[in-house]
């Protein structure tokens, strides 16, 4: 706790620290009131019950007064605080998504290896580093956490994380929904001990769970043999991931401790993994319930009070309206994963048919300046399909699955309430997905890949890039054959010596990808038109062959123009902000290449992208 006074936290005003102590005290008082009330109901001794009831009343009254104190502090802050939106992100921000051991060197902690290679090869693509789960775990790529106290030994130490944070903002996962079956809480549950008995979610199966929305085809409940006999526990994502009981008010305090640990070790951005599933109630879908939103609000308040520029990011692989429900209120998440983008862009680039993508960008959601979207294509998970619900027809989704299977991809399913299985995500490396359908699979593969990443940079929000994708990782058939886990197709690990040979080879795909995209991100970082709060408009709605995104307002706007086909096309840019420039002179330039263009005759090669602006 002493380290809370270091680095960024040293700038935290005293009022913030006071509020945090009030919130913690308030939570403890409510917890005490709940426990004493339950114990009073259980106890048969009138004298003891009287004492417990008295303690319950005292705790409730004290908690009420603490809420009044907090309200006064919040009212004061609201009147006196000036919010600087550029504190959290600007046009120079990008996120590099990587596992702690995506790059490894024998005999060296992988976080040390990662730090050595970041600045030299990834540069502006890695202002923020999202290091996927690094705590001790038993499965699911680290998402079955078995300890909140220590890292996997092969990754390194907390100090190694802190070292990376000196030159990069760090992003980490809060796996709120579940823990590993090996976690101490589950082991305590088996022995009928606290806090495990209160922290593991084991509801009455006689209640109505028929409407639960599932992300998997595995069983909703798994049996655990305890010292009191077999018990059924809730397992949203599989038998090694035991769901937590957020009905227990102490759960917030447990994760507050983890947040503080993260903060003291340089982590500022927090990804709320599968947050929509955390609250369960009988007779409901158990997805995005109001209490789940309330928990996100509480976490945001706590984070804002601990760190001025902390960022809370929700990860909900669901249809767009549900996904945005964590951003629209403006008091929940700061950012949300933009789940419709990967499948829409994938379908457009594979088929050269961007009509749905154009319509979707045209209807971009209106968000406040204090929230934005996390734009990405590839990630450690598959390409989610739920986000396509209401956006793409079943036939086009089916064609997308077939096209990806032809490129070596697989399809994972989820179970519906009627027992049917439905496609849930595509498992394929993004680089392999860029292959051509002709005999020459490498035809335009590089151009397709670059286009998709540049489009991510052009959109309103913060762009994110997946390390294996940047390194032109193909479907990892070898690893998948070992584990049987479909997501492992897209989770290749790179031995440092071999990787350096590839990166230092100017003819390698990895070298070409990084050189091009690093330079593009350098250019983007100098153009305020790409700030996440800068205006955006799609000028190509109704077209399939091209995507044109306007960023900014007025004559200084930038036009990101993407040829989505393998044909050369000519395009005439029409926009009211450019009326005075419509002539035959070459009065516009491509910021990516410095080539000059006339508005009425823009020629684009297959899958070419230009960022057009005034000279």
Active site residues: 273
DSSP string, 149-162: S-B-TTT--HHHHH
Handedness of CA 79, 85, 86, 88 (dihedral sign): positive
Judge whether 514 and 116 are in contact, CB under 8 Å: no
Count other Cβ atoms within 10 Å, centred on residue 443: 15
CB-CB contact of 564 with 352 (8 Å): yes
* Element counts in the chain: helices (H) and strands (E): 18, 25
Sheet holding 421-427, edge to edge: 383-384, 421-427, 410-415
Distance of alpha carbon 2 from its chain centroid, rounded? 30
Look-up: residue for tokens 């064609």?
A: 399
541 Cα distance to chain centroid = 28
Cα separation, 254 vs 1, in Å, equals 15
Secondary structure (DSSP) of 475-522: P-HHHHHHH--GGGGG---EEHHHHHHHHT-TTSHHHHHHHHHHHHHH
- Angle, helices 290-306 vs 250-264, to 10°: value is 40
DSSP states along 335-352: EEE-TTHHHHHHHHHHHT
- The owner of tokens 């029409």 is 574
> Could you tell me if 364 and 547 are in contact, meaning their C-beta atoms sit under 8 angstroms apart?
no
**Upper half-sphere CA count for residue 193 (Cβ side, 13 Å):** 7
| Selection from 444, 407, 445, 457 nearest residue 427 by Cα | 407
Is residue 535 within 8 A of residue 553, CB to CB? The reply is yes
The dihedral built from the CA positions of residue 199, 202, 207 and 210, taken in this order, carries a sign that is positive
Q: Give the CA distances from residue 381 to residues 62, 97, 339, 430, 553, in Å, rounded to whole numbers and listed in that order.
A: 46, 11, 11, 11, 36
d(CA 562, CA 550): 12
DSSP per residue, 193-250: -TTHHHHB----TTS--TT---SSSS-SEEEEEETTEEEEEE-SS-TTEEEB-TTSTH
Neighbouring C-beta atoms of residue 211, cutoff 10 Å: 12
- CA angle at 585 for the pair 580 and 591, rounded to the nearest 5°: 85
Among 205, 191, 272, smallest CA distance to 233 is for 205
461 phi-psi bin (left φ>0, alpha ψ -120 to 50, beta other): left
221: β partners = 234
Helix (H, G, I), strand (E, B) or coil at 375: strand
């Amino acid at each position: 706790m002493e380290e809370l006074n270091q680095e960024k936290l040293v700038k935290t005003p005293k009022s913030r620290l006071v509020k945090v102590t009030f919130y913690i005290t308030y939570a403890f008082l409510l917890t005490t009131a709940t426990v004493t009330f339950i114990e009073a109901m259980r106890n048969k001794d009138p004298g003891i019950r009287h004492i417990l009831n008295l303690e319950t009343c005292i705790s409730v009254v004290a908690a009420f007064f603490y809420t009044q104190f907090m309200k006064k502090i919040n009212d004061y802050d609201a009147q006196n605080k000036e919010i600087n939106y550029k504190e959290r992100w600007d046009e120079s921000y990008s996120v590099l998504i990587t596992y702690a051991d995506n790059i490894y060197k024998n005999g060296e902690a992988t976080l040390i290896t990662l730090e050595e290679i970041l600045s030299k090869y990834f540069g502006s693509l890695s202002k923020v580093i999202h290091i996927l789960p690094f705590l001790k775990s038993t499965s699911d790529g680290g998402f079955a956490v078995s300890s909140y106290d220590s890292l996997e030994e092969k990754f390194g130490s907390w100090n190694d994380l802190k070292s990376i944070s000196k030159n990069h903002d760090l992003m980490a996962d809060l796996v709120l929904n579940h823990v590993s079956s090996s976690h101490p809480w589950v082991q305590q549950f088996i022995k009928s001990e606290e806090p495990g008995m209160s922290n593991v979610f084991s509801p009455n199966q006689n209640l109505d769970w028929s409407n639960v929305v599932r992300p998997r085809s595995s069983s909703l409940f798994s049996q655990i043999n305890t010292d009191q006999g077999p018990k059924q526990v809730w397992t949203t994502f599989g038998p090694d991931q035991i769901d937590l009981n957020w009905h227990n008010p102490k759960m917030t305090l447990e994760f507050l401790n983890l947040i503080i640990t993260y903060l003291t070790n340089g982590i500022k951005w927090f990804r709320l993994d599968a947050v929509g599933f955390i609250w369960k109630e009988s007779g409901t879908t158990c997805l995005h319930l109001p209490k789940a939103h309330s928990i996100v609000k509480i976490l945001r308040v706590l984070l804002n009070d601990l760190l001025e520029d902390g960022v809370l990011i929700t990860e909900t692989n669901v249809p767009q309206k549900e996904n945005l429900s964590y951003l629209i209120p403006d008091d929940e998440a700061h950012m949300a994963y933009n789940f419709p983008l990967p499948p829409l862009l994938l379908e457009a680039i594979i088929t050269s048919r961007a009509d749905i993508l154009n319509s979707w960008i045209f209807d971009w959601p209106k968000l406040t300046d204090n929230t934005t979207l996390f734009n990405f294509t590839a990630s450690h998970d598959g390409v989610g399909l739920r986000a396509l619900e209401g956006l793409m027809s079943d036939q086009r989704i089916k064609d997308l699955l077939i096209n990806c299977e032809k490129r070596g991809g697989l399809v994972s399913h989820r179970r519906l309430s009627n027992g049917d299985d439905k496609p849930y995500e595509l498992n394929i490396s993004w680089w392999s997905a860029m292959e051509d359908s002709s005999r020459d699979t490498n035809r335009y593969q590089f151009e397709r890949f670059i286009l998709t990443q540049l489009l991510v940079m052009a959109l309103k929000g913060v762009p994110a890039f997946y390390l294996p994708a940047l390194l032109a990782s193909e479907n990892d058939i070898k690893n998948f054959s070992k584990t049987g886990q479909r997501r492992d197709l897209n989770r290749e690990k790179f031995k440092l010596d071999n990787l350096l040979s590839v990166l230092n080879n100017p003819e390698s795909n990895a070298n070409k990808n990084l050189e091009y995209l690093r330079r593009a991100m350098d250019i983007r970082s100098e153009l305020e038109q790409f700030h996440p709060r800068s205006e955006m408009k799609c000028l190509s709605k109704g077209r399939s062959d091209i995507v044109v995104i306007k960023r900014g307002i007025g004559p200084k706007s930038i036009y990101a123009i993407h040829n989505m086909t393998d044909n050369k096309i000519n395009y005439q840019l029409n926009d009211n902000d450019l009326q005075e420039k419509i002539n035959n002179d070459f009065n516009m330039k491509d910021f990516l290449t410095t080539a000059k263009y006339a508005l009425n005759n823009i020629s684009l090669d297959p899958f070419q992208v230009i960022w057009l602006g005034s000279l």
